[in-house]
Structures are given as structure tokens and as C-alpha cells.
Structure 1
């Protein structure tokens, strides 16, 4: 994921969306790593380690361990959000399923498109000004 985000940001340097995506993907990977660590160690220890990393020199491979994201991560470790309830998870899942299901609509065939264009061509003279049409007089 990180490599894909980095590649898109480098391939399209003028598109802010890809740069933002690269930053957000790195942030989410760090949050995931924090959550995995929190399953094995107390959150206060993880927060303390993040503070130590943020106040020292963090190696480049530590992604967002230092700098401006460290404070956000420490706050997140000390005051975690409540997990989504079953109803919220089910609602989200159904919403995604409906949205993805709508993307799989069959496309009209070439024959359908040609029939529709012929019908529009027949109706077109009636819509042009100066043409005779029901309810209108020729001028």
C-alpha cells in the first residue's frame, strides 16, 4: 500500500489527491501498527515510546513515528475511540454493498443505442422551430 501511494504521488506530482493519499496511507499504516502493539502491550507504554521517538531523531524507516503525527498518535493511544457497534458495522457493510452493486449495471448494447438514436432523429424535426408539429402552425 505504501509503495502504491508513493508511486501514484510521484507519477502525478501535480495532482494533490495522490499526495494526500500517500500521506494518509502512511498515517493509517502507523495507526494499524499502534493498534497491533496495543493488543500486546499497555497503551501507556506505547504512548511513552512514541514520545521518546518524537523527541529524538527517528530513523527514516519509522514512517510517522516522529514529527507532527506523533502527538496525534499519543492522544489516540491514551484516549482511544470506542469501536463501532454491530449496528454501525452492518450499516456500513450494507452501504458499501449497495454502492458497489450499483456499479455493476449492465451497459446498453450497441443495438439499443442505435434504436434510441433513430427514435431521437425521428423526433428531432418536431422540435425544431418552424417545423410543423401537432398544436403548432407553420409560420
Structure 2
């Protein structure tokens, strides 16, 4: 019965819930809550996979899993040869979480090295400037762009000379606030971790959908942060001006969070249409999703573990 419940839980979390979450209207009004729900689903799915593997192993071999493993580790070779299948089952049960952790950690380390090299190049080639009460770095480039690079010292907000020519002062300040929100929220870590899950298990719908969904929500969360220090209309104009100026131009070819990234039309419409009442209602809805889809299944899994003891 426990195996069946865990299998149903994994199917719902890995297949059904991502489809519902992508179609839910509240996520665009409460992006930070939605990001929390996505990562809660990751934890719930990995924990469920681990517990399901352990349950299946115990059901097949008919012995207490942890007792068998401890007995195997403490035994003297061939005298406990019958425990080898259980130990192998345990390794397989941990294989899914271990692969996810290894891939995510590897991608984060690669990102950190790349961003550090990028920041070092900016320190050599860029020109510091003051924008909106803080520092930014300008680089000579004909592609209008504003992006951030995570590094020591609070990171770097980068503006191209074309972006400085394109954006009026108010819109420029709003775009810089957007980039600083990415750095404060460590969005580069969240987007990289979510995208790397698809590399670990590309055929799992939850992991395959996570990267684009979290990247989209991170941009919206940064838009909201910028709108708290500038008018929403100003942020929308800044995004529109950058997107229009970039139309037909080449990409700068950097892997960073960019103020004029994808879904610009959706983000502009969202900034202009979002109402405070809808936002509060969406936060409450998102919190309900988090409780219903993350905490409740987690409680079932904890109860399953307690039954083993």
C-alpha cells in the first residue's frame, strides 16, 4: 500500500502538477511564491523517489532495508552474501537524488567560474559609473543590453553604450534596479539549478519544464522589485525600449540574466495590468498551492519513514 501511495504521489508531482502549474494564472502575479512551489516540488519528488526505491527494495527482499545495509557493511565478506542484493537496491534508491545533486552542483560550479572570469574581464575593460545611487559598469557595444554578472563585491550590473543612448534616465534607473534585484535574489543560482535538472533527467516532465518556468518567473520577480523603486509604467517603458532597440541586432552571446530577455511582451502587459488586489489574492492562492502540493505530501512521506522505525 505504501509503494502504491508513493507511486501515485510521484506521478502527480512529476507529471500532473507541472502541467497545472504552468497553466495557473496566479503564478504571474506571485512569481516568488511560484518559484518556491517549483523548488518545493523538486524536493518532494526527489524525496519520494528515494523512499519509493527503499520501499520497493524492502518489499522485494522482504527484510528491513536499513538493518540489512548496516548488517552488510558490518559483516565479514561472504558470511553476509545474501545482503548484497539489498545493498545494491539501496545504491539504486539513492542514485536519482545523487545524480541530481551531482549535475546541479557541477552546473553551479561551472557558472561560478564563468561569471568570475566575466567579472574579471569587466574590471579590465569596463568603465565604472554611478546609476540610481549605486555602481554599474559600461562597455562599448552596439547591442543595447543591460545584464548582471554575479561576482564578489555584490556582483556587476553591466550596461552597454548603446543601452545608455537608448534609455532615458528614469527608464535607465528602472532597468538597473531590475538587474540589482536579480543579484539580491540570487536568481542566477535558481535558474541554473532548475535548468540543470533537465540535463539530469530530460524525460521527466517536472524537470524538463522547470528551467524555462523558473527563468520566466525570475524575470517577473525582478520586474516587481524594480517597480517598488520606480513606477510600473517606467519599468515597462524601459523593457520596451531595450527590446525595440535590440530587434534585428545580434546577440551579445553571454549567459547571464538580461533585462530584455524572453517573454518581454508578456512582462510589459503584466506590469501595466497588475492590480494590488489581484496580487494579494494570487499570493494567497500560491501559498495554498505550496501547502497543498508540498507540505501535505511531505507529511505523508515523513509518516512513511516513521512506519519503518
Range of TM-score over shorter length: 0.5 to 0.7
Alpha-carbon distance between aligned partners in 1 of 2:193 and 2:206, rounded to the nearest angstrom: 13
Alpha-carbon distance between aligned partners in 2 of 1:16 and 1:97, rounded to the nearest angstrom: 20
Alpha-carbon distance between aligned partners in 2 of 1:54 and 1:100, rounded to the nearest angstrom: 40
1:42-72 Cα distance to aligned partner (Å, 9 max, x none): 11111111112222156542347234x0000
Picking from 279, 286, 291, the partner of 1:83 is 279
Q: As a proportion of its length, which structure holds more strand?
A: 2
**Residue 127 of structure 1 aligns with which residue?**
none
Change (3 A) 1:101 1:53: same
- SS across alignment from 1:66: coil
Displacement of 1:74 in angstroms is 0.3
1:60-91 Cα distance to aligned partner (Å, 9 max, x none): 42347234x00000001111142225xx8399
The answer to whether the aligner puts 1:7 opposite 2:183 as a matched pair is no
**Residue 215 of structure 2 aligns with which residue?**
26
Displacement of 1:94 in angstroms is 9.3
Alpha-carbon distance between aligned partners in 1 of 2:286 and 2:199, rounded to the nearest angstrom: 36
Q: Answer yes or no: is the 8 Å Cα contact 2:239–2:259 preserved in 1.
A: no
- SS across alignment from 2:264: helix
Picking from 227, 236, 243, the partner of 1:38 is 227
**Residue 66 of structure 1 aligns with which residue?**
261
Q: Answer yes or no: is the 8 Å Cα contact 1:2–1:25 preserved in 2.
A: yes
Displacement of 1:18 in angstroms is 2.0
Change (3 A) 1:94 1:2: closer
Displacement of 1:40 in angstroms is 0.2
Change (3 A) 1:8 1:73: same
Displacement of 1:2 in angstroms is 1.1
Structure possessing the higher relative contact order (Cα contacts under 8 Å, 6 or more residues apart)? 2
TM-score by length of 2: 0.30
Larger Cα-atom Rg: 1
**Residue 129 of structure 1 aligns with which residue?**
none
Q: Answer yes or no: is the 8 Å Cα contact 1:47–1:78 preserved in 2.
A: yes
TM-score by length of 1: 0.60
- SS across alignment from 2:228: helix
- SS across alignment from 2:238: helix
Q: Answer yes or no: is the 8 Å Cα contact 1:50–1:70 preserved in 2.
A: yes
Change (3 A) 1:17 1:41: same
Alpha-carbon distance between aligned partners in 2 of 1:46 and 1:65, rounded to the nearest angstrom: 11
Q: As a proportion of its length, which structure holds more helix?
A: 2
Equivalent residues in 2 for 1:107-122, closer than 5 Å: 107=304, 109=307
